[in-house]
Amino acid sequence: MRDFLPEEAKFMKYIEGKARRTAQLYGYGEIITPVLESYELLATKAGEEIRVRMYAFKDLGGRKVALRPEFTASIARLVANVLRNEPKPLRMFCVGSLYRYDEPQQGRFREFWQSNYELMGSIKPEADTEIIMLTNSLMKAAGLKKSVFKVGHVGVLREILSQEKVEDEVQNGIMQLMDKKHYDDALRLVEKAAVSEKCLKTLRRLVKVRGGNVSEVLDKMEGYVEGYERAVDAVRNLREILEFVLDSEEEIDVTVEAGFARGLEYYTGMIFEVYAPEVSTALGGGGRYDKLIELFGGEPTPAVGVAHGIDRIMLAMQKQNTTLEREEEKTVAVIPTKEELKEEELKISRMLRSADISVEVEVMGRKVGKALEDADRRKIDYAIIVGEREMKEGAVVIRNLKRREQKIVKIENLIKIIKGQA
Amino acid sequence: MRDFLPEEAKFMKYIEGKARRTAQLYGYGEIITPVLESYELLATKAGEEIRVRMYAFKDLGGRKVALRPEFTASIARLVANVLRNEPKPLRMFCVGSLYRYDEPQQGRFREFWQSNYELMGSIKPEADTEIIMLTNSLMKAAGLKKSVFKVGHVGVLREILSQEKVEDEVQNGIMQLMDKKHYDDALRLVEKAAVSEKCLKTLRRLVKVRGGNVSEVLDKMEGYVEGYERAVDAVRNLREILEFVLDSEEEIDVTVEAGFARGLEYYTGMIFEVYAPEVSTALGGGGRYDKLIELFGGEPTPAVGVAHGIDRIMLAMQKQNTTLEREEEKTVAVIPTKEELKEEELKISRMLRSADISVEVEVMGRKVGKALEDADRRKIDYAIIVGEREMKEGAVVIRNLKRREQKIVKIENLIKIIKGQA
pLDDT tens digits, B27-36: 999 999 999 9
User: pLDDT digit string (tens) for B130-155?
Assistant: 999 999 999 999 999 999 999 999 99
Collect all residues of chain A within an 8 Å Cβ-Cβ radius of residue B357.
Answer: 25
Question: What is the rounded average pLDDT for all residues in chain B?
Answer: 93
Collect all residues of chain A within an 8 Å Cβ-Cβ radius of residue B363.
Answer: 89, 119, 122, 124, 126-127, 130
With a cut of 90, say whether residue A264 has pLDDT above it. Answer: no
Collect all residues of chain B within an 8 Å Cβ-Cβ radius of residue A121.
Answer: 364
Q: How far apart are CA B262 and CA B148, in angstroms?
A: 17
pLDDT band at A358 (very low <50, low <70, confident <90, very high): very high
User: pLDDT digit string (tens) for A245-263?
Assistant: 998 878 899 999 999 988 7
CATH number corresponding to A331-418: 3.40.50.800
User: pLDDT digit string (tens) for B75-121?
Assistant: 999 999 999 999 999 999 999 999 999 876 666 789 999 999 999 99
Collect all residues of chain B within an 8 Å Cβ-Cβ radius of residue A137.
Answer: 353
Q: How far apart are CA B209 and CA B224, in angstroms?
A: 10
Mutate to test the interface with A, among B8, B16, B24, B51 (most CBs of A within 10 A): B24
- Asked whether A36 and B55 are in contact (CB, 8 A), the reply is yes
With a cut of 80, say whether residue A21 has pLDDT above it. Answer: yes
Single pTM value for the model = 0.93
- Asked whether B99 and B67 are in contact (CB, 8 A), the reply is yes
| Coil/strand/helix, residue A191 | helix
User: pLDDT digit string (tens) for A312-333?
Assistant: 999 999 999 998 886 678 999 9
- Can you give the pLDDT at residue A107? 60
Cα-flanking dihedrals φ and ψ of residue B73, to 5°?
A: -60, -40
- Can you give the pLDDT at residue B106? 62
CA distances from A270 to A114, A156, A295, A303, A370 (A): 21, 9, 19, 11, 61
A164 closest CA partner among A115, A199, A209, A137:
A199
Cα-flanking dihedrals φ and ψ of residue B84, to 5°?
A: -50, -45
Tell which wins on pLDDT, A326 or B271. B271
The burial of B357, by beta-carbon neighbours within 10 Å (0-12 exposed, 13-18 middle, 19 or more buried), is given as buried
The mean pLDDT value for B384-408 works out to 96
- Could you give the strand order of the β-sheet that contains A90-99, starting from the edge strand earlier in sequence? A29-30, A90-99, A111-120, A303-309, A284-288, A270-275, A148-153, A254-257, A210-211
Question: What is the rounded average pLDDT for all residues in chain A?
Answer: 93
The mean pLDDT value for A97-124 works out to 89
- Can you give the pLDDT at residue B107? 60
A236 closest CA partner among A255, A256, A249, A219:
A219
Tell which wins on pLDDT, B325 or B416. B416
Mutate to test the interface with B, among A363, A377, A381, A411 (most CBs of B within 10 A): A363
User: pLDDT digit string (tens) for B191-221?
Assistant: 999 899 999 999 999 999 999 999 999 999 9
Of chain A, the percentage scoring pLDDT greater than 70 comes to 98
**A300 touching chain B per CB within 8 A:** no
B79 closest CA partner among B129, B11, B26, B29:
B29
**B134 touching chain A per CB within 8 A:** no
Q: How far apart are CA A352 and CA B76, in angstroms?
A: 31
Cα-flanking dihedrals φ and ψ of residue A403, to 5°?
A: -90, -10
Size of interface A-B (CB pairs under 8 A): 206
**A100 touching chain B per CB within 8 A:** no
> What DSSP letter does each residue of A246-297 carry, written as one string?
HHT-----EEEETT---S-TT--SEEEEEE-TT-SS-SEEEEE-SSHHHHTT
- Can you give the pLDDT at residue A319? 95
Residue A323, min C-alpha distance to chain B (Å): 18
| Coil/strand/helix, residue B348 | helix
The mean pLDDT value for B60-64 works out to 90
Do the domains at B6-319 and B331-418 have one common CATH topology? no
Domain ranges of chain B: 6-319, 331-418
Nearest CB to B35; choose among A4, A97, A342: A97
A357 closest CA partner among A337, A338, A378, A384:
A384
Nearest CB to A364; choose among B36, B88, B360: B88
Asked if B359's CB is within 8 angstroms of A27's CB, the reply is yes
Asked if B3's CB is within 8 angstroms of A33's CB, the reply is yes
pLDDT band at B1 (very low <50, low <70, confident <90, very high): confident
| Coil/strand/helix, residue B51 | helix
Of chain B, the percentage scoring pLDDT greater than 70 comes to 98
Number of Cβ within a 10 Å radius of residue B379: 9
**A374 touching chain B per CB within 8 A:** yes
Asked if A35's CB is within 8 angstroms of B97's CB, the reply is yes
**B127 touching chain A per CB within 8 A:** yes
- Can you give the pLDDT at residue A380? 94
Asked if B129's CB is within 8 angstroms of A89's CB, the reply is no
Tell which wins on pLDDT, B247 or B422. B247
Identify any residues that bridge with B27 across adjacent strands, giving them in sequence order. Answer: none
- Can you give the pLDDT at residue A386? 97
Domain A6-319 has CATH 3.40.50.720: no
With a cut of 80, say whether residue A422 has pLDDT above it. Answer: no
- Asked whether B288 and B128 are in contact (CB, 8 A), the reply is yes
Nearest CB to A31; choose among B6, B130, B365: B6
With a cut of 90, say whether residue B269 has pLDDT above it. Answer: yes
| Coil/strand/helix, residue A367 | coil
Please state the separation of Cα A158 from the chain's center in Å: 28
> What DSSP letter does each residue of A204-238 carry, written as one string?
HHHTT-EES-HHHHHHHHHHHTTT-HHHHHHHHHH
With a cut of 70, say whether residue A270 has pLDDT above it. Answer: yes
Nearest CB to B31; choose among A3, A25, A82: A3
With a cut of 70, say whether residue A198 has pLDDT above it. Answer: yes
pLDDT band at B358 (very low <50, low <70, confident <90, very high): very high
